[in-house]
Structure 1
Amino acid sequence: MIAEWQNHKTQLRSYVSKRIDDIDAVDDILQDVYIKASSNLHQLKSKGSLKSWLYRIAHNTIIDFYRKRQPYEDLPEDLVAEEQDTGKQAREELAQCLRPLIEELPEKYRTPLRMAELEGVSQQEIANQLGLSLSGAKSRVQRSRVKFREQLMACCDFEVGQDGITDYSPKDPANNPKC
């Protein structure tokens, strides 16, 4: 291995020095390449591929060198981790805004929609509480969503982008008194 290493060492040094902006680190990187190659020699498939294998190790070692050098700032000691907001508060605020529109739906649609969307009740539990089959509860929730969407579209104009709804504005309540 040492004889083969000596044959490629000069070329590897040139390869590394062209890619590293710190001249002092070139020898350190070459040493790391040699250590990695020596300890993983059993992975070399054929002696003919030694040169390309060494260059791959050198390339990966250069990448590791730059990864270690990425600047970072220490966080202040008094920094307190924010509570992880799962969006619960936002959902509750939205639910309060949407509740009046949901209340305008007929009871048949209002109850399953409120249970599924505002209370987080499973569709199986909705079926149990309303005396429906599971497929009946699923259908009821789906129809409730459609009716609610129609009502929402009648009351608001939405701007939709790649990330979903990006903006909205209420329509004139004079045209639709339920809004």
Structure 2
Amino acid sequence: MIAEWQNHKEQLRSYVSKRIDDPDAVDDILQDVYIKASNNLHQLKSTGSLKGWLYRIAHNTIMDFYRGRQPFEELPDDLVAEERDTGKQAREELAQCLRPLIDELPEKYGTPLRLAELEGMPQQAIADKLGLSLSGAKSRVQRSRVKFREQMMACCDFEMDQEGITAYSRKNPIKHTKC
């Protein structure tokens, strides 16, 4: 390998120096090319393709050099705090609005819906807590959602567009006593 490297070293130096604006980095890149070629010599299919193979390694090493020099901005420290927010506060606020309507459902439907939607409990945990199979818990939660939706539609008028609900208002509470 060393003899073949010596045959191509000067041509590779010229190739790299034309593509790198930092003369001090040229020798570092050539050294990286030699190390990569030595470590991966078993991948070379024939010695006739050695020159092209070395140029491919040199090209990739040059690309790695420029990728490493790309500027980046530090993330602000407060960004980390935002990622830790799991939506718990939003879920609690929504729960305060929805809990009375869920409480109006029969216990068979209200309990699994409360556990799934307000407490964020996984359906397997709901199944375990209520003594149901997983498929039974999934079915119960789905039926609960349907019944809850029917109750919501009976109590409220919703205005919707492509992005979802834009406004809502209570229907006449005299006609709908459960609202």
TM-score (normalizing by structure 2): 0.69
Is the 8 Å Cα contact of residues 158 and 169 (structure 1) preserved in structure 2?
yes
Q: Cα 1:152–1:5, aligned 2, differ >3 Å: closer, same or farther?
A: farther
Query: 1:163 matched to which residue of 2?
Result: none
- Give 1:127's aligned amino acid: L
Say which structure is richer in helix.
2
Aligned residue number for residue 19 of structure 2: 19
Of all paired residues, the percent bearing the same amino acid is 73
TM-score, structure 1 as length reference: 0.69
Q: Which amino acid aligns with 1:148?
A: F
Report Cα offsets for 1:117-139 as digits up to 9, x if no partner: 223262323432xxx66654432
- Once residues 107 and 157 of structure 2 are traced to their aligned partners in structure 1, the CA distance between those partners, rounded to angstroms, is 20
Q: Secondary structure at the match of 2:170?
A: coil
Aligned-partner residue type, residue 124 of structure 1: A
- SS of 2:22's equivalent in the other structure is coil
d(CA) in 1 for partners of 2:19 and 2:151? 62
Give the letter for the 1:139 counterpart: S
**Structure 2 spans left out of the alignment, 5+ residues:** none
Q: Taking structure 1 as reference, are residues 49 and 101 closer, same or farther at Cα in structure 2, changes over 3 Å only?
A: farther
Q: Deviations over 1:62-87 (max 9, x none)?
A: 122123223245679xx575372222
Distance (whole Å) between structure 1 residues aligned to residue 75 and residue 42 of structure 2:
43
Which among 105, 126, 131 is matched to residue 123 of structure 1? 126
Alpha-carbon distance between aligned partners in 2 of 1:50 and 1:116, rounded to the nearest angstrom: 62
Cα displacement (A) at 1:143:
0.5
**Structure 1 partner of 2:28:** 28
Shift of 1:28: 2.5
Secondary structure of the corresponding residue to residue 48 of structure 1: helix
Consecutive unaligned residues in structure 1, runs of 5 or more: 161-165
Q: Tell me how far apart the structure 2 counterparts of residues 82 and 44 of structure 1 sit (CA, whole Å).
A: 49
Kept in 1: contact 2:17–2:26 (CA 8 A): yes
